[in-house]
Amino acid sequence: MRSTECFPPVPASVTAARRWVRGLLQANAPDGVARDAELCVSELAANAVRHARTEFEVEVSDDAGVVCVTVRDESPGPVRPRAAPAFDSTGRGLTIVETLARRWGVIEDPPSGKTVWFVLGDAG
């Protein structure tokens, strides 16, 4: 299964992207993988809304329990996890993705944007 959806750069899109991913994965992906995908896409969607401020596209593919998600926005800005102080309310999104995903990365395509991707699940 492979599916793609575009979202506008508004805060409500974070919830919409999260629900969309949950709807796609709830029937076929293992529970933990579906929950982790939902959380990771929420973090990346929030980054797109907060930092890129452009429309963003989410693509989800599920092949035998291995889930790959991409979030593409139109901002060429760099993407790096950072260590957030203990009491900061922001700054942990990429660290969450890095912790939960089997693999993750960024494809930078200046000046037209970037794609952040992650893979969850067990290949075998």
Q: What pTM did the predictor assign?
A: 0.89
- Where in the chain are the domains? 2-120
Average pLDDT of the segment spanning 59-79: 90
> Average pLDDT in the 4-20 region?
98
- CATH fold of 2-120: Heat Shock Protein 90 (3.30.565)
pLDDT by residue (tens digit) across 22-52?
999 998 888 899 999 999 999 999 999 998 9
Mean pLDDT for the chain?
Answer: 88
Listing DSSP states for the chain in one string gives: -EEEEEE-SSTHHHHHHHHHHHHHHTTTS-HHHHHHHHHHHHHHHHHIIIII-S-EEEEEEEETTEEEEEEEES--------PPPTT-SSS-HHHHHHHH-SEEEEEEETTTEEEEEEEES---
pLDDT of 89 strictly over 80: no
- Tokens 């989800």, residue? 60
Residue 123: band (very low, low, confident or very high) from pLDDT cuts 50, 70, 90:
low
